[in-house]
């Protein structure tokens, strides 16, 4: 399926000829919730929700100008920005990779997606991109953060081809065993697995590699894994150490990995061009050129691999 420039224009928030903004489904939904108590009492009361401690998902939401965050999240996010002022732009460059990867997979004939570590809904969600380019595309979101899951449920209400589940990326067997996954996804057919900025939160190397190995084993040949992961290869050591220290105080401690360590996630997969590169360099587009001249500022390495068919 060829994606035209008109199709690609749907993936961006645009202006009409008279200057009126065109808002995506999620952007309209986010605006409708502005100023509301968006974290429900049920979520606040859940024993496994720690609103007094920063959450990576809610910090990410704050970086995108969202409203689903607490004072602790905002304080931690501002501390990250003080150390690395490019942080909000890094998040946007990473989101742009996600958008391009989904469009690429649709072009390759993939119409079902498993987005692990999806986070809180923001502009340019996977189901919006995929279903605009291929009506009927199916998406299952996975996240460990109850706030992210509850908000996603509200956004997806009435969409029969998308669902969200509360699950842990470290336990792929539980993800694939969840009833919503086989209900929406045909695991006998190729699918696109999205692991965008989730693997840094699996801090132990063996645990992270084991999780990706299990995901690869569970999907059909011809499936794709799209991965982004921040690296400290070109980052001053003091900045890398300070940001790791800050995230150690959140509910989601994270770590950097080198290019070689990230490349190991693509073991037994065939990397598609241009390989494992800084996110802005992965199939860039004219409307998507954030950090294109200084790609190392984006921090994240990104790549897409396909599970080969047996010979």
Task: Give domain status of residue 57, yes or no.
Answer: yes
The answer to whether position 24 is within a domain reads yes
Considering the domain boundaries, does residue 36 fall inside one?
Answer: yes
| pLDDT value of residue 48 | 52
What residues have CB less than 8 Å from 252, skipping those under 6 apart?
55, 56, 57, 201
Instruction: Give pLDDT tens digits along the chain (311 positions).
Output: 444 433 333 333 332 233 333 334 544 444 444 444 444 444 444 445 567 789 998 998 899 888 888 999 999 999 999 999 999 999 999 999 999 999 999 999 999 999 999 988 877 799 999 999 999 999 999 999 898 899 999 989 999 999 999 999 999 999 999 999 999 999 999 999 999 999 999 999 999 999 999 999 999 999 999 999 999 999 999 999 999 999 999 988 999 999 999 999 999 999 999 999 999 999 998 765 678 889 999 999 999 999 999 98
**244 within domain boundaries:** yes
Q: Would you say 265 and 229 are in contact if contact means Cβ atoms under 8 Å apart? A: yes
CATH of the domain at 199: 3.40.50.150
Q: Residue 51: its pLDDT value, please?
A: 76
Measure CA of the first residue to CA of the last residue in the chain; give whole Å: 26
Tell me whether strands 224-230 and 192-196 are parallel, antiparallel or unpaired.
parallel
- The pLDDT of residue 289: 67
Question: Is 113 part of any domain?
Answer: yes
Expressed as residue numbers, the domain containing 73 is: 5-306
Q: What is the pTM of this model?
A: 0.84
Please report the pLDDT score of residue 115 as a whole number. Answer: 98
**How crowded is the C-beta side of 114, counted as CA atoms within 13 Å?**
29
Decide: 205 and 261 in contact? Cβ < 8 Å: yes
Identify the pLDDT of residue 50: 62
Domain total in the chain:
1
Residue 56 lies in a domain: yes
Query: What are 165's strand-pairing partners?
Result: 142
Residue 311 lies in a domain: no
- Flag whether 47 is in a domain: yes
Q: State whether residue 310 is helix, strand or coil.
A: coil
Cα dihedral: 33, 35, 38, 44 (round 10)? -170
């Amino acid at each position: 399926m060829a994606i035209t420039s008109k199709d690609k224009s749907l993936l961006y928030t645009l202006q009409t000829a008279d200057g009126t903004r065109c808002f995506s489904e999620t952007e309209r939904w986010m605006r409708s919730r502005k100023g509301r108590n968006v974290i429900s009492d049920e979520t606040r009361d859940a024993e496994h929700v720690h609103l007094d401690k920063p959450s990576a998902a809610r910090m990410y939401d704050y970086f995108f100008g969202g409203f689903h965050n607490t004072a602790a999240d905002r304080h931690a996010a501002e501390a990250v920005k003080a150390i690395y002022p490019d942080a909000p732009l890094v998040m946007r460059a990473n989101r742009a990779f996600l958008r391009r990867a989904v469009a690429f997979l649709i072009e390759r004939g993939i119409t079902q997606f498993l987005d692990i570590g999806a986070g809180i809904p923001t502009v340019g969600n996977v189901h919006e991109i995929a279903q605009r380019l291929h009506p009927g595309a199916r998406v299952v979101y996975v996240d460990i953060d109850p706030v992210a899951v509850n908000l996603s449920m509200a956004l997806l209400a009435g969409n029969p081809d998308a669902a969200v589940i509360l699950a842990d990326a470290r336990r792929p067997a539980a993800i694939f065993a969840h009833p919503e996954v086989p209900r929406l996804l045909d695991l006998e057919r190729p699918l696109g697995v999205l692991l965008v900025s989730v693997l840094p939160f699996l801090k132990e190397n063996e645990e992270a590699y084991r999780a990706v190995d299990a995901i690869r084993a569970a999907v059909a040949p011809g499936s794709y894994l799209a991965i982004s992961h921040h690296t400290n290869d070109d980052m001053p050591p003091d900045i890398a150490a300070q940001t790791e220290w800050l995230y150690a105080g959140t509910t989601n401690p994270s770590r950097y990995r080198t290019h070689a360590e990230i490349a190991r996630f693509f073991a037994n997969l065939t990397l598609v061009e241009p390989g494992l590169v800084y996110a802005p360099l992965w199939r860039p587009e004219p409307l998507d050129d954030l950090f294109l001249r200084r790609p190392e500022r984006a921090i994240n390495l990104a790549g897409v691999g396909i599970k080969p068919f047996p010979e």
